[in-house]
Amino acid sequence: MRLRLPAPTRAHRPVNLGAVGLLATLVVLLSGCQPRPPAGQGEGPDSQVRTGTNSSGSGKPLTIVALGDSYSSGEGNAPFDLDAPGCGRSGASWPRLLAQEIAGSTARLLACSGAKTSAFTASFHGQPPQVEALRALVASGVKPDIVTITIGGNDAGFGPTIVSCVVWRCFWTGHDDHSREYVTDQLPPLLQAAYSQVKEAAGGARVIVIGYPDLFPSSTANTCRWLDNNERVQLAGLNRDLNRVIRRAASKTGVEFLSIDRVLDAHKLCTKDPWVYPIAVTGAGLQASAHPNTMGQRAIADAVHAYLSRGK
């Protein structure tokens, strides 16, 4: 199945060697490559478990295991765990914040920034395959109540597409069709295989697939000067299609799906009070680009908590 987008109306932006070099740098960045945190930052090996102490709702304590990519690891919100350099596992990640909201709960992060579906069955950033790590946890006596997953955005190349918007243009002839064709035709079987493997390894836990939030404002009255209206529509459409494919794959595999596409409403990129880090081109903000900040992480944690509280 092929889905088509409106053809871009803007002429190509001028391209120079500096921009091309910057694009290459940012593509690597948003693919999840990050240096080891400076000494003294982050957490030690035991930080995989965080105990909730300030409940904001009722319910029994939960053991939560979070798999997937940077949208579960908490990328951008230092300090990061020292035992998983490159994975961006943050104490302010939404799974750990969720554990804090439910008294007595714990969260273990197996998610790793830049992960694709292949990271579920192959080593990534020096970490074991995530399904293997989950299976080892269960074998060690850990009994997860909830296993969450965010995956697919890196397979779809969503990060590099956003980077292209900054230094050149979002879409060009053939690119939009290729992106949508990959998401709708090639990604579904990869997702279904990943979800099935997690379900088998989860020890009977609930498996909840989490979608991706919409990052882009619905109006052009914002400070995203690098994004014209047509591109905004295209990017938002690609995000919707990605979430739709993720939802269908979850349904076919018999695992739960939670949409968080509106969790950043009124707080998207380029708004007055964004809950997502802006697209940076230099400096320390590079790694955080296009990831939820601490407020965004809290909003996702609250959305998942509300879902669990409804008895879903």
CATH number for the domain spanning 284: value is 3.40.50.1110
pLDDT of residue 53: 37
When pLDDT is averaged across residues 164-173 and rounded to a whole number, the result is 61
Cβ contact 56:103 at 8 Å: no
> Parallel, antiparallel, or unpaired for β 206-210 and 256-258?
parallel
- Full DSSP string of 104-152: T-EEEE---TT--GGGGTS-BTTBPPHHHHHHHHHHTT---SEEEEE-S
pLDDT of residue 16: 38
Whether 42 maps to a domain, the answer reads no
Taking only the tens place, the pLDDT of each residue in 31-52 is: 443 433 333 334 433 334 444 4
pLDDT of residue 209: 99
Q: Name the token pair of 72.
A: 């579960």
Triad 69, 163, 275: Cα angle to 5°:
60
Cβ contact 286:26 at 8 Å: yes
Confidence of residue 288 (pLDDT cuts 50, 70, 90): confident
Q: Which residues lie below 8 Å from residue 196, measured CB to CB, with a gap of 6+?
A: 253
pLDDT of residue 46: 33
When pLDDT is averaged across residues 80-84 and rounded to a whole number, the result is 96
- Of the candidates 287, 215, 301, which has an alpha carbon nearest to the alpha carbon of residue 258? 301
pLDDT of residue 48: 41
The single residue listed with the structure tokens 């889905």 is: 3
Per the confidence metrics, is the pTM higher than 0.95?
no
When pLDDT is averaged across residues 86-111 and rounded to a whole number, the result is 98
When pLDDT is averaged across residues 186-205 and rounded to a whole number, the result is 98
In angstroms, rounded to a whole number, what is the distance separating the alpha carbons of residues 267 and 279? Answer: 15
Whether 8 maps to a domain, the answer reads no
What is the strand order of the sheet 106-109 is part of? 50-51, 106-109, 63-68, 146-150, 206-210, 256-258
Whether 179 maps to a domain, the answer reads yes
In angstroms, rounded to a whole number, what is the distance separating the alpha carbons of residues 179 and 229? Answer: 19
Parent domain of 129 = 17-34+49-309
Q: Residue 203 — left, alpha, or beta (φ > 0 → left; ψ -120 to 50 → alpha)?
A: left
Whether 2 maps to a domain, the answer reads no
pLDDT of residue 223: 65
In angstroms, rounded to a whole number, what is the distance separating the alpha carbons of residues 311 and 223? Answer: 40
Specify the higher pLDDT residue, 74 or 169: 74
Taking only the tens place, the pLDDT of each residue in 250-271 is: 999 999 999 999 999 999 988 8
Neighbours of 229 (CB within 10 A): 11
**pLDDT exceeds 80 at position 127:** yes
Confidence of residue 168 (pLDDT cuts 50, 70, 90): low
Confidence of residue 117 (pLDDT cuts 50, 70, 90): very high
Of all residues in the chain, what percent carry a pLDDT higher than 90?
Answer: 58
Whether 278 maps to a domain, the answer reads yes
**pLDDT exceeds 80 at position 302:** yes
pLDDT of residue 221: 58
**pLDDT exceeds 70 at position 133:** yes
pLDDT of residue 281: 61
Whether 5 maps to a domain, the answer reads no
Q: Which residues lie below 8 Å from residue 46, measured CB to CB, with a gap of 6+?
A: none
**pLDDT exceeds 50 at position 21:** no
Whether 159 maps to a domain, the answer reads yes
Q: How many domains does the chain have?
A: 1
Whether 39 maps to a domain, the answer reads no
**pLDDT exceeds 60 at position 124:** yes
pLDDT of residue 241: 92
Q: Name the token pair of 118.
A: 């292949």
Q: At what angle do helices 294-309 and 94-101 cross, to 10 degrees?
A: 50
Q: Which residues lie below 8 Å from residue 93, measured CB to CB, with a gap of 6+?
A: 66, 72, 73, 74, 77, 107, 109, 111, 297
Query: Phi and psi (nearest 5°) for 254?
Result: 80, 30
When pLDDT is averaged across residues 94-108 and rounded to a whole number, the result is 98
pLDDT of residue 113: 96
Specify the higher pLDDT residue, 259 or 177: 259
Q: Please, what is the average pLDDT of the chain?
A: 80
